[in-house]
Amino acid sequence: MTAPAIPPTEVPVNRLRPRRSCLAVPGSNPRFLEKAQGLPADQVFLDLEDACAPLAKEGARHTIVDALNKGDWTGKIRVVRVNDWTTHWTYRDVVTVVEGAGHNLDCLMLPKVQDAQQIVALDLLLTQIEKTMGFEVGRIGIEAQIENAKGLVNVDAIAAASPRLETIVFGPADFMASISMKTLVVGQQPPGYGADAYHYILMRILMAARTHDLQAIDGPYLQIRDVDAFREVAGRAAALGYDGKWVLHPGQIDAANEIFSPAQEDFDHAELILDAYDYYTSEAGGKKGSAMLGDEMIDEASRKMALVIAGKGRAAGMRRTTAFEIPEA
């Protein structure tokens, strides 16, 4: 079974929205939902899964619909994490939230994804609801959370399962439990292992995401008051190329936004490379395939690398502080 066909004209052209900081908010807590609207997180996901007790889930659906429709989420990606397909809550989570607040919803996050068919099923359900309600078909995206060994083994197929997919998210807590990792601190290196125990997992997810032009998001760090440790863990993911990280507390937001944004010097340098390459490859610049920018030789590969840094900086709202000057003849 393959993902349902969605006409290209009905699929958003660019799903690469900034997700440096992805704030988790319990869907059953109106006070937290209100507070989240004023915080500087790029994305807020209203949680119906782990953050909601079983007896609170039904009520939380309606609380979330109300918050999405009446709240001011300006500048934020609005996401709802539903329960996973192994539970009896999932379909009602999707129907209630999307029918009730589909116009004010950007994505649904599906946790504990184990195979591509779970994404296909969510895509089909979303398409039916959108057609029934008269919504734009395909506008609501999907975020797939990888939380166990089976999901990681199948991550390539998962990443290719639907044109709605926007991100692949690493869920460390459940994943650590699924492979019997010897630590109780989520995101911390297990004792007795001298290397980085998460490197393969993070890279595996990143490769699948990039193969299909998706974003890769690192999961939470639960020691919420230890911002230095959060910076260390987030810095590891950012160095690999991840686009952002979950935050569980307002104190982690600024750190995430900083870590997953380029340094001003790097952003300026990337913009200079793009301007210089554009000039030197033009008729006026001599139609050169490579050229010197100061002491640095730049070429097409330089341009591609610069596009990544410049794109992240622009998405973060950064402004350049330097300008390219055409060299004198």
Other residues' Cβ atoms within 10 Å of the Cβ of residue 245: 29
Residue burial 137-174, b: 16+ Cβ < 10 Å; e: rest: bbbbbbbbbbbbeebbebbeebbbbbbbbbbbbbbbeb
Bind-site residues = 81, 147, 174
Bind-site residues for substrate = 81, 147
Bind-site residues for Mg(2+) = 147, 174
